[in-house]
Amino acid sequence: MSWAMDEVVDEIRTRIQNGGLDLQQHNQQVLHLVEDVLDGDRTAQLTRVIEQVSGFGALQEFFDDDSVEEIWINEPGRIFVARAGKSELTPIVMTAHEVRSIVERMLATSGRRLDTSNPFVDATLPDGSRLHVAIPEITSAHWAVNIRKFSSQTHSLASLIQRRTITEQAAGFLQACVMAGLNIVVAGATQAGKTTLMNALLNSAPAYERIITCEEVFELQLQSPDWIALQARQSSLDGTGEITLRRLIKEALRMRPLRLVVGEVRQEECLDLLIAMNSGMPSMCSLHANSARAALSKLCLLPMLAGSNVSAEFVVPTVATVVDIVVHIALEPDGHRQVQTIASVTGRCEGNIIEMGELFVRSGGQLKPTGAFPARQEAFAARGIDLAMLLGSTSWA
């Protein structure tokens, strides 16, 4: 058969449309249709056409490869993937038309749009992978596509210990913090493993807890029997219908949560989270920061984006009293994701400086206890947790 691949794909799509076939429900009919158009041609061609019609074209092999963590396109001829935390340039070369066609298919089930008036999109694919796209004139010439693949593996603290992300002693302490209802902040750079660590911590929470999670795009995967996941929404074509993280937090508090979780605090929603924490609601969040100290500074800055009436005089003491534990995790040059610091916020501040004590610090490649106790000892005692035995320490942070 001598048809060009684009002609084959166009012919098959026309027949699918005319036949009213649903690609998700009529896989076998689509396969027979492809075989008919190819007239029994080679298996490799058959696979490629199916990928073009119902899969994600040249990218499908990376979706099928469990070792690939992330896929991104800088331009049609420069497509990268990440494996074990390290990036590599693939030999795949696509056309600009193919890139656009694949993105349009990815967005088809999301209800989200991408055009010159809305040049960014953040969406969840049917398999749970996260898609982000930026188009010209925001980008210089080509569509920039990032796909963070969904992992069906739900990580536990035990699996993170096995991966050398955290030590058994530090994991036991963080699990005790979750059981005691402490407010925990997980900080790190992009791809450092913040969401994975939050998942593991939340999956160690008591089974009776009702957990409400609020995210820009669904990423958290909990095993809790009583869990509600909320996702923000972009505005419609007429500029209405937007649901922000601030709105989600406010609505979540009306849903009887026993623990509130905000994935990736970025803007003024930080104020609403602090207010929830200040009301006694056990909470957890992640944010971008390159150290535990930088995370506290950012928590003091973001609430002031909510308005000029929100001042440092209110925010700094609030952060000092409501945040209990800060965990900093980083992606190492060798591709390993490792917890660098676990720190306790004492509740005291001097001017705009919040007092913080390090409980675990990575030194010489090992995450070691410093010999300090965390604050909120009464919360641990109420759960019958023996901190001295857990930490082997006697001093206060």
The answer to whether 149 and 63 are in contact (CB under 8 A) is yes
CA distance 252 to 262: 10
Strands 68-75 and 144-148: antiparallel
Question: Could you read off the pLDDT of 255-307 as tens digits, one per residue?
Answer: 999 999 999 999 999 999 999 999 999 999 999 999 999 999 999 999 999 99
Q: Is the pLDDT of residue 11 over 70?
A: no
Give residue 229's pLDDT band: very low, low, confident or very high (50, 70, 90): very high
Residues 6 or more apart whose CB falls under 8 angstroms from that of 151 comprise: 69
pLDDT for the residue numbered 220: 92
Question: Could you read off the pLDDT of 181-204 as tens digits, one per residue?
Answer: 999 999 999 889 999 999 999 999
pLDDT for the residue numbered 151: 75
The residue ranges of DSSP E strands in 44-167, in sequence order, are 68-75, 78-83, 86-89, 120-124, 130-134, 144-148
Give residue 1's pLDDT band: very low, low, confident or very high (50, 70, 90): very low
Identify which has the larger pLDDT, 31 or 155: 155
Closest CA to 328 of 191, 186, 198, 228: 186
The answer to whether 280 and 328 are in contact (CB under 8 A) is no
pLDDT > 90: percent of the chain: 64
Question: Could you read off the pLDDT of 55-96 as tens digits, one per residue?
Answer: 788 898 899 899 999 999 999 999 999 998 899 999 999 999
pLDDT for the residue numbered 5: 58
**Which residue ranges form the domains of the chain, and what is each CATH number?**
5-148 (3.30.450.380), 157-396 (3.40.50.300)
CA distance 172 to 174: 6
